[in-house]
Copies of this chain bind each other. A is one copy, B any other.
């Protein structure tokens, strides 16, 4: 039986994709409810679900009520069998790799760090291949896909890293290199966009047509989902919240002036406080007014930029995360105050969620991209 069932999820039609993605992101859910949410008839839902049940990707939660093969009652909720397939995700930074194995619902099963001694392309490919080989061993027969997240300008379609400032890479065909080295189906994505995909499918973005995911840390990034779709920009650039000018004469590395990133990124805080980040956080927490002011200005700048973004596109929710938010006790009040003062009218109703970002979340985002890629065949 196991030998004859399909290796991969049988997404063979638009209806199959719709039904499977609905159960994946919103299940357990009854066939009737799937029909209501997707506009498909109950018969179409039943027909579309059957191959997924047969292939082991979906199950009926009360299967003891089934009266014959494939004749499940419509009221039986459909649920994903999360361990039917596993997905690898790797985030590349300039000094390490973070790798995870996730199940179909993007739950992390195992996470591992791997230090990088070089960012030369062959060294990164070799290290990543070794990390993947290590991670995949217990899952080999049920893992076929690898998602990789990199900061910078990534062409998802061709699998090319066009430009990554932190890695100092230009036009690196990383997707092809990794596919050859690992034998897996590889999907590349910008790291902030990958986190946004994870949030859209498995987090605060489920059932929401517009939201923003903002990351605060080394850089300040933003993934925008509007009308249910990630905004990519006509010229390949969008979500550059870090380069929204918020009224300060601070020059930014981008050539602009007063950018949020020039005030609130980790390196900006370090420069303005005149000490390493850990020391700045400790001093601010112990009450040093000068250092507290640096965090207050950073929080104020972030709050203004969030309000600018929300006044323009009116998202339902904003999630602010990133390694910088580890110190969010120093930021949060100032972020919220500036946001509320500058939000126009009903924009103030936008739900603003601040939360820390465990580093493995970036790798989980990469895995989520490879789950989403199931639907792109």
Interfacial residues, chain A to chain B (CB-CB below 8 A): 153, 208-210, 222, 224, 226-227, 229, 231-241, 243-248, 254-259, 304, 307-309, 311-316, 341-342, 344-347, 349-350
Contact = CB atoms under 8 A, between A and B. Distances in A.
Given A238-B314, A245-B247, 16 more contacts: A222-B312, A226-B226, A226-B227, A227-B229, A233-B313, A233-B314, A233-B346, A237-B346, A240-B344, A241-B312, A245-B342, A246-B246, A246-B247, A247-B247, A256-B344, A308-B312
Nearest to A239: B312
The CB with the most chain B CB atoms within 10 A, among A244, A259, A316, is that of: A244
Contacts of A350: 234-235
Contacts of A229: 227
Q: How many copies are assembled? A: 2
Contacts of A247: 245-248, 258
The CB with the most chain B CB atoms within 10 A, among A229, A233, A243, A309, is that of: A233
B349 A314 contact: no
Contacts of A246: 245-247
A14 to B, nearest CB: 12
Given A233-B314, A234-B209, A314-B236, A307 B258 contact: no
A254 B341 CA distance: 9
A308 B244 contact: yes
A256 B307 CA distance: 10
A120 to B, nearest CB: 25
B236 A346 contact: yes
A164 to B, nearest CB: 13
Contacts of A254: 344-345
A349 to B, nearest CB: 5
A240 B153 CA distance: 29
B224 A312 contact: yes
A233 B311 CA distance: 9
The CB with the most chain B CB atoms within 10 A, among A209, A314, A346, is that of: A314
Contact of A237 (B208, B231, B345): B345
A258 to B, nearest CB: 5
A342 B347 CA distance: 25
Contact of A312 (B210, B255, B312, B316): B312
Contacts of A222: 312
Nearest to A303: B245
